[in-house]
Structure 1
């Protein structure tokens, strides 16, 4: 008990020590202080290994690494030395401060000379050793340690800060339990079902890729390998899929190369949409957008340029190995695409949230040949409000993986509380919160892929867990290690933290399923809260408004499909993923791509343009050809035809429902009626069965050139009446013309002066001539006829 009291008492000492370290004479020590994980390829000093991780009283501390000459001249007589403090950290906050900012440490340890000279740009190895008993360390605790490199004149070349967990000569504090959640998750990779934002996923599931490293490290099984087979796997019939050709056993039942007793329990957490993305890579050619930025530009209507890719062998191997690795371990899954449930419920998009759960469950079982445990829920960011809790509880969840931001420790607590806590659920049900330590999540999320970063990250993990174990010795506690969902560890670090969970004396690995909350225990955490910063980080209203617009187009498209098909549901859910909180630009690109895909499929149900129509009679029937170019869906819809001049040309029928199978065409016959000759434009469009338009309008010219039999009879009768009316006049005119011609000849009687008769004849002619200058009245026509 005395050493634990010492650990608790050093807080005041360290509080005094840190300011003193900050004022340490920089002329006596290297001035280059770097944060724990800030080194890069050009770092002058790299730590590659620190052994042992847990230092005993009789241990020899050994630090190995490389020194790189980053100057323009050769370096000779380069020395590397250890610096440390014999006062341990008093709290996790002090440890974090040292990790972030470093400090000049008062005690100097052993020094080693590096073989030289070191030419510019070249590196040399170093090893520095120190006996633990010579360092003057006290009881169990975590001590600050730094490694410095100096040139021949004593000038600083580089420095790295790290930690020295010291167990001392005793047994140390009681071990805390640690439960691992191992994420196979990430940002959605597809827009439409066949269009990928990049080809990065195929690389990620390869042997050196992010998901490849996570799978092999989490499996802890030498038989799980992602190296492509030397020869292609034999084709297996559907009935034999999932069984070994020789033994007929399910591959998930195959024995592991390392015994289960040697494995640290892990609970796999998967995003079904990511599994779906990987599975699609194996099915056939797929398209990759060559320039995603173009899709979100001004010309959104243009199809983005894509490149066709062959099926991914990496994806095939990864899925095969994932089915084996995950076969016997606990498995939890988010709803499809890990949507931002809180934001969806707030935006009245609860139907999408509801749809994401069964879609995710089906995807996991279809792809991994096993179900996920639906008793677990992992809300976005590990936080949830009351509506989100009610939603998950309504889906059957009783165990909630949360961050300590959602259920923080009570104010009076001086130690990291145990992870499990009772969580009331709707209907007076009791649930369990499994609270992940956010500081440990941040430690796991630090970069471990650069030179020397894995060793530093490994040492930080050991230091952080040692501090937790020393906070409240003698009390049974559990910590949940839940790395970030986009975790990108190096293979060495991912494998190392699991091995350390088993090797470090202050840790005891357990399965997440084994953690049970005691409803009668005194609560160490407060009630469920939804932090203001969590609300601020939700998917923006602008993003969801854009998605809602796409959803309206999708609803219209779905309205013409048979069997309640909803082919764009996965794409919409991918747009609602919480991952888009962190990437507005790629979210906008993905929205534009999905919107384009929806419109492209809508355009596949179309009216095939025809030639202008000539109608040579009063009535007639025309045929309109309608095509369904969709490959997988039957459509039901109506053809609408409107005349722009119904007084001239009217549509007499049509507008019935038609059904067209995938890739099919049909002709719709529509009767027309013309009243007047001339050109009329018909507007054609397609509608769903409710009358909503599902296509743009097309114009069809119809030219009426004939009037029909009845019109001809009427015109003939009119012509006959006109002939009958004009014939008598024409006869009289002809008679007068003949008479006038006869009277103009020489007449012997005319010279004798028979004026009475001739005077009368001349007047009548004059009268007739005058009468012929206009249309005769009906009665005048009768006299002439007599």
Structure 2
């Protein structure tokens, strides 16, 4: 028995002997916090507890010596009891001991770390624990040297497995890789708040992506099996950076060569991704291009963004050498509903997928979900039927996902240990039965200083945990397990963080501008960039806060502006007024193309009073050039007539408002001439006849003059 333990036994007696009034009076003058900063994921009775406690004196008085009481409680027998222990309801105490540190002084504002390295069997009830293992709440309470307090208390799950069980729990873990887009709509990687480009940081020596890929690479070599769901947009940006890229600050922009450290980091990240994708222990899953919320897209009327997200994602991953195919789809957030599954079937994708808890109809009788035997946890694959498809996959466990979200919010030792305990508790429900559960890491980027250590510890523990066996999602479907039929919800409610309808209307307006631009047949790569910009604007990565959502909106607006600017480079020139002195004439028009690429457009002159030959001119016009062509015109009458010269795409979409010119016609047509000549002839005849009559009257003899 150690001297510290003997001292601790005396301290335990002292703690028990203090009256509550004495303890309260002493404790009120102190403010010391105790945090769990290190814990062994699981134990055997002979292994050390291996826990680190950080004591922080946040008060004004020093702590002269202290005691820590270690108490273990009875093994939890349900996941409900486990969750209650997380809230401090630890249950019946079965054994305890006290650690005394009378010589440690913790001054105001200082910290101290206590390593608890006693064997687990120091707690006598653990020395004779069950052979099949389990989860035991462990409570640690801090007292001052006189036993006053407790100053602080925490409870953490202690996982005890004397040996590896015959049927460990199969875990199909999916690891998504995604981040907020770093490349702007104009193709420039922008620095954020005067700092580095976001992706530069991620692939730096201490970046989250470097840490995650390095941890996966190491643990996969040692036997870890996982599903990997890389965001195609993230992969595309890595490929763009690897060849050299444009980096922009608030007021400048420069070209970064392929020999730059960031470009080399992108190359390394891509190589690691490809190596992971080639491993038989890793299953690469297809994710839509820009991490969108698929149900939001599936329920939009008259838009084909949904299949575009799938196709663009597949194209990018194929180009990167990953090529996952379309059979397996990882929907961001595991959000799916009936319209989403129907759209996936229409796109010939998603025969296998992952269903979030809210995507499935609750069953009136929960016992029907017991699989493979009656138990509180669904631990089998599921199948869902819609009119055009039958989809097989996994229903994520709500409590497991909650534990992972806790880690993303606060990657503390306590949060990670609770995730392990949740898995251990599922195993202890039916320790002798083969089962499978699925969980997906949240898409998050830990702090640079902790990312590598966090992922190393997490993946190492999952690989080595005696009650777990990691598998890929496809391997899980290959197990000899029944498949449970579930019903998909007709339509998921709108996510609370989703933007309103005006957000998608802005994207639709930009989409219309890009469609018109595509009609002039510019380089395919430029059209592809703009179309993918619109897919990026749909990303749920923008939904985190109002500032990011505004950035997503600007992404769509900037894309619309880029398309409009390119169209402004193509226009028609013509004289403002043309005068015709005869029935027919010629108008000379010029098509100016100031773009750096050839375009195909149609020039269409129109007027109610003038006819044109040809009625339109459609051609491919060279880059940075002005082309002249002549159009014959024919006036139907004299006068002043407006003529509209339109500029259209080959499929008839108007590129800009028509150019207005005036045609002045001074010619007479045949009818007018005939009428005029006829009138003149009539007048001549009229006056000629009148003159003849007058002469005849004057030549006739006068009877009165002849009389005598």
The residue aligned with 2:443 is 485
For residue 246 of structure 2, the aligned residue among 267, 272, 286 is 286
- Alpha-carbon shift at residue 694 of structure 1 (Å): 1.0
Change (3 A) 1:585 1:62: closer
- The 8 Å contact of residues 570 and 595 in structure 2, kept in 1 or not, is answered as no
Change (3 A) 1:362 1:614: closer
Change (3 A) 1:508 1:119: same
C-alpha distance in structure 2 between counterparts of 1:384 and 1:531, whole Å:
8
Bigger CA radius of gyration: 1
Equivalence map 1:8-87=2 (5 Å): 44-51=33-40, 53-72=41-60, 75-79=62-66, 81-87=68-74
C-alpha distance in structure 1 between counterparts of 2:483 and 2:236, whole Å:
43
RMSD of Structure 2 on Structure 1 (CA): 4.4
- Alpha-carbon shift at residue 264 of structure 1 (Å): 0.7
Change (3 A) 1:170 1:183: closer
C-alpha distance in structure 1 between counterparts of 2:571 and 2:384, whole Å:
61
C-alpha distance in structure 2 between counterparts of 1:193 and 1:703, whole Å:
43
Q: Structure 2: which 5+ runs fail to align? A: 1-18, 674-693, 695-708
- Alpha-carbon shift at residue 641 of structure 1 (Å): 5.7
- Alpha-carbon shift at residue 84 of structure 1 (Å): 3.1
- The 8 Å contact of residues 61 and 130 in structure 1, kept in 2 or not, is answered as yes
Structure with a larger share of its residues in strand? 2
The residue aligned with 1:218 is 216
C-alpha distance in structure 1 between counterparts of 2:622 and 2:560, whole Å:
19
Q: Deviations 1:176-228 (Å, cap 9, x if unpaired)?
A: 1122222112344445251456521221222322222221111126xxxxxxx
The residue aligned with 2:273 is 322
C-alpha distance in structure 2 between counterparts of 1:535 and 1:48, whole Å:
35
The residue aligned with 1:161 is 155
C-alpha distance in structure 2 between counterparts of 1:68 and 1:100, whole Å:
22
C-alpha distance in structure 2 between counterparts of 1:668 and 1:31, whole Å:
99
For residue 397 of structure 1, the aligned residue among 342, 347, 350 is 350
C-alpha distance in structure 2 between counterparts of 1:618 and 1:122, whole Å:
100
Equivalence map 1:260-299=2 (5 Å): 260=221, 262-286=222-246, 288=248, 290=250
The residue aligned with 2:323 is 371
Query: Is residue 104 of structure 2 the alignment partner of residue 110 of structure 1?
Result: no
**3-state SS in 1 of match to 2:647:** strand
**3-state SS in 2 of match to 1:473:** coil
Q: Deviations 1:766-785 (Å, cap 9, x if unpaired)?
A: xxxxxxxxxxxxx9xxxxxx
- The 8 Å contact of residues 578 and 587 in structure 2, kept in 1 or not, is answered as no
Equivalence map 1:181-580=2 (5 Å): 181-192=174-185, 194-196=187-189, 198=192, 199-220=197-218, 260=221, 262-286=222-246, 288=248, 290=250, 307-308=253-254, 310=256, 312-313=262-263, 314-328=265-279, 329-349=282-302, 351-367=304-320, 369-394=321-346, 395-407=348-360, 411-412=366-367, 413=370, 414-424=375-385, 431-447=391-407, 453-486=411-444, 488=446, 490-516=451-477, 521=482, 523=484, 526-529=486-489, 532-533=492-493, 540-561=500-521, 566-567=527-528, 568-580=530-542
- The 8 Å contact of residues 454 and 492 in structure 1, kept in 2 or not, is answered as no
The residue aligned with 1:635 is 599
- The 8 Å contact of residues 191 and 594 in structure 1, kept in 2 or not, is answered as no
Q: Deviations 1:130-188 (Å, cap 9, x if unpaired)?
A: 44334234543322224444556746655443221123x57668421122222112344
Give the alignment's TM-score, normalised by structure 1. 0.67
- The 8 Å contact of residues 295 and 492 in structure 2, kept in 1 or not, is answered as no
Query: Is residue 151 of structure 2 the alignment partner of residue 180 of structure 1?
Result: no
C-alpha distance in structure 1 between counterparts of 2:310 and 2:434, whole Å:
35
C-alpha distance in structure 2 between counterparts of 1:688 and 1:404, whole Å:
48
- Alpha-carbon shift at residue 469 of structure 1 (Å): 0.8
- The 8 Å contact of residues 686 and 693 in structure 1, kept in 2 or not, is answered as yes
Aligned residues: 614
Change (3 A) 1:176 1:276: same
Q: Deviations 1:672-716 (Å, cap 9, x if unpaired)?
A: 89999999997665222344321245677x899x989x9xxx9xx
- The 8 Å contact of residues 639 and 656 in structure 1, kept in 2 or not, is answered as yes
Change (3 A) 1:457 1:640: same
C-alpha distance in structure 1 between counterparts of 2:437 and 2:452, whole Å:
23
- Alpha-carbon shift at residue 366 of structure 1 (Å): 0.6
C-alpha distance in structure 2 between counterparts of 1:26 and 1:265, whole Å:
56
- Alpha-carbon shift at residue 517 of structure 1 (Å): 6.5
The residue aligned with 2:559 is 597
For residue 89 of structure 1, the aligned residue among 53, 76, 90 is 76
Query: Is residue 135 of structure 2 the alignment partner of residue 142 of structure 1?
Result: yes
